[in-house]
Chain A
């Protein structure tokens, strides 16, 4: 399985942008980059995913490097509710490696 590397923790201030990095140097051409987050005492929830182009949705933006070996999840204005563990995960677009396997993730702390 292609692996991802994330910082263990990051800190931000409320209402400031947050850039959460992820390295995936062994990504294959058919791997989608997924981001999930887990708030305290809850199950993980989907944030965003992409293949090659940058993606935006109501929760966040995903910036994907041109060589696809890294990506950045962008929270445009962090709120206290965004404090969570953020996981960057690779999933194959088709074929047998569709399963969702978690790495260690980044613990995001948001200061008021």
Chain B
């Protein structure tokens, strides 16, 4: 059974039109991550939540925002998608220590037209 679920798997949005990607987990992990992965590149961490505390990476554009209304759900909001934001977006969860594994969703492939 999938433990980290991302919806939708594929999303097409228009240039400049706000879009929201969602992630849910059944693991009750206190940390949730969002990554951007472009073709043939490694996943790039955008930000993560430790419980309700939001931690932004220094080079994440302001165009990307996130919400975590409760432990189970986390959302990625792209306020004004540009063509360069087309990518795979990955959600992951973990406990707040490196002694345990992290779990990833299958990703949402975002296309901007």
Give residues in A with beta carbon < 8 Å to B.
30-32, 34, 36, 38, 42-46, 49, 85, 87, 90-94, 98-105
Contact = CB atoms under 8 A, between A and B. Distances in A.
Nearest to A38: B43
A34 B98 contact: yes
Contacts, number: 66
A98 B42 contact: no
B106 A42 contact: yes
Interface residues of B, number: 25
B98 A42 contact: no
A93 B98 contact: yes
B62 to A, nearest CB: 20
Nearest to B95: A98
Contact of A92 (B42, B98, B104): B98
A100 B42 contact: no
Interface in B22-74: 31, 33, 35, 42-45, 48, 55
